[in-house]
Amino acid sequence: MNDLDGPGRYQYMSFNAPLSEAHADAIAARLAYARPADVLDIGCGWGELMLRVLDRTPRAVGMGVDTDEELLARGSAAAAQRGLDERVTFINTPGVSVGQQADLVICVGASHAFGGNAAALTTLMQHVRPGGRLFYGDGLWDPTVTPKKPELVWADFFDLPDLAGLVDLAVATGYLPLFTETASPDELDDFESRYLADGEEWLLRHPDHPGAANVRAGTEDHRRRWLHGYRGAFGFAYLTLGRPAA
C-alpha cells in the first residue's frame, strides 16, 4: 500500500492488544517454560506472541490462523526474518473451522469469532491437549466506574465481564486458572495511542490530502470515545488456563 493511498494498519503496534514489550516477554517465557511441543494461535493476527514463544522453544512448531490476509502476511514475514519460517505456518481460515489440538493454544481478543467468552472458552477447550494450556486474553468492564459520557461507550463494552466474572467462567468451563493478570493503565493508554497513530501520523504528513477529512473524523471519533467514554472502565485480562490431564 502506497502512503498516499491512506494510513497503514497497526504500523506502530507490536501486538493488537494492550501488552508492553516487557510484559509480553514475561508471558512468553512463562508459556515456554512448560515446553509445549506445538502452539496454536487462533485469531492470531500477525502472531507476535506465538513467535516469541517459539523463539524460546527450539523444538516446538506453531500454527497461526486468521482471516486477515494482510496480517497473516506480516506474520509470515516476521517468522522468516527470525528464522522460524520452517517451524510456523500461517493459514487463512476462520477460528471456528480449526480442528487441531496443541499443547499451547493462544487466543487473544478473538472471543467475538465464537460468539462471546462462554462459547469461546468451551470451544477452545477442545483444542487444548489434555494437560496443556490456553492463554486467553479478552476485554473487561469495571461496573464500579461511571464513564464521564456513557453515550460515547460502544454498547457491547457494557456486556463485558469484570475480572472475577471471567475467571469464574473459565473455572466453570473446566479450566484451572494457572495465572491471572491484567493490562496496566499504561498499557491500555499505550495501546490506544498506537492504534490512533496510524491516522495521526499520516495526517501529519498529508494534511491536505483529499481523504484527510475522513481520516481526521475517524481518529477524532475514536479518541473522543476513549478519553471521554470508556477510559478507566475498560480493561483487558490475560489468563493462563490449564486443561486437566484426566
3-state DSSP call for residue 227? helix
Task: Give pLDDT, residue 97.
Answer: 87
Query: What cell does 39 get?
Result: 502452539
In this model, does residue 64 exceed pLDDT 90? yes
Q: Which among 174, 132, 109 has a CA at the least distance from the CA of 40?
A: 132
pLDDT for res 3 = 84
Provide the sign of the torsion angle of the four alpha carbons 45, 49, 52, 58, taken in this order: negative
Rounded to 5 degrees, φ, ψ at 135 are -100, 115
User: Helices (DSSP H) in 82-162: which residue ranges?
Assistant: 117-125
Residue with cell 486467553: 136
Q: How do residues 133-169 score in pLDDT, each as one tens digit?
A: 999 999 999 999 999 999 999 999 999 999 999 999 9
In this predicted structure, the answer to whether residue 18 has a pLDDT above a threshold of 70 is yes
DSSP 113: G
What is the structure's pLDDT at 1? 64
SS3 of residue 219 by DSSP: helix
- For the purposes of burial, counting CB atoms within 10 Å of the CB of 194, is it exposed (0-12), middle (13-18) or buried (19 or more)? middle
Confidence bin at 70 (pLDDT 50/70/90) = very high
Average pLDDT over residues 212-233: 98
Instruction: With CA atoms as reference, report the closest residue to 173 among 165, 183, 162.
Output: 165
CB proximity list for 170: less than 8 A, separation 6 or greater: 121, 136, 177, 239, 241
Question: In the beta sheet, which residues pair with residue 235?
Answer: 140
Cell 476513549, located at residue:
226
How much is the average pLDDT of 113-132?
Answer: 97
User: How would you list the strands of the sheet with 102-108, edge to edge?
Assistant: 88-92, 61-66, 38-42, 102-108, 128-141, 234-242, 176-182
Q: Is 50 exposed, middle or buried (0-12, 13-18, 19+ CB in 10 A)?
A: buried
The interaxial angle of helices 185-205 and 212-225, nearest 10 deg, is 160
Top pLDDT among 180 and 246 is at 180
At residue 92, the pLDDT reads: 97
